[in-house]
Amino acid sequence: RPFEIASGVGFKQFIQMIYNAGRLSLNSRSIEISVFLPHPTPVSRKVDEIPYDFFNRNLDIHFCSVTICAIDSDFYLNSFCLCCKPYTLENQTTPNVRTFVDELLLEYGLSLNTNSLIVRDNEPKMIAALRGANRVGCSDHYNNKILEHSFTVSKSRCVEVVEAFDIIKNIVASFRRSHRQ
């Protein structure tokens, strides 16, 4: 039953509204978004295959990924995910984050120096941890903050979007509660 939410009219309208907003800024063709949404029955069958003990643990695991990006002679951006590893240190203090990143890079013969260019969020802890490396703010994090304020600030004048966001927030909270039982 919970997977039928994704096939609901309100959810489809919300996803279509998000797609249309992006489509207008990119001048791309219009599509019917419901064509790309999976049917709830096959999705629920796949979820049943998750081992039971997965839900018995409080999995508060954080990951660190390293992606190498380079622009080729045709100005095409090539991205290679070097690794994605669980963060294993006891806490996320600034020195620990820096140690973890340095050790991770060292495994590949890399290091942070003045020639390094780091793309990361603007969290103060990350700014301090990666001090000394050239920094570029992550556009995804900037966009996330813009969307967060648009969806949560009542003065944003996006009434329908704020209402849809609140409904989806309640659905996500319901999923989280049901998995803890």
| Mean pLDDT score, 143-168 | 76
pTM for the model stands at: 0.47
The pLDDT assigned to 102 comes to 87
β-strands 63-71, 77-86 pairing:
antiparallel
> Per-residue pLDDT tens for 130-150?
888 777 777 777 788 777 777
Average pLDDT, the chain: 71
Q: What would the pLDDT profile of 24-71 be if each residue is shown by its tens digit? A: 555 556 667 666 666 655 444 434 333 332 233 345 667 777 777 777
Q: What mean pLDDT do residues 95-114 have?
A: 84
Residue 111 is predicted with a pLDDT of 80
Q: What percent of the chain has pLDDT over 90?
A: 2
**Residue 1 clears pLDDT 60, i.e. is over it:** no
Amino acid found at 173: A
Per-residue confidence (pLDDT) for residue 145, from 0 to 100:
79
Asked if residues 113 and 141 have their Cβ atoms less than 8 Å apart, the reply is: no
Q: Residue 7: pLDDT band by 50, 70, 90 thresholds?
A: low
- Nearest CA among 136, 139, 59, 62 for reference residue 101: 62
Nearest to 20 by CA among 29, 8, 10, 7: 29
Average pLDDT over residues 93-110: 86
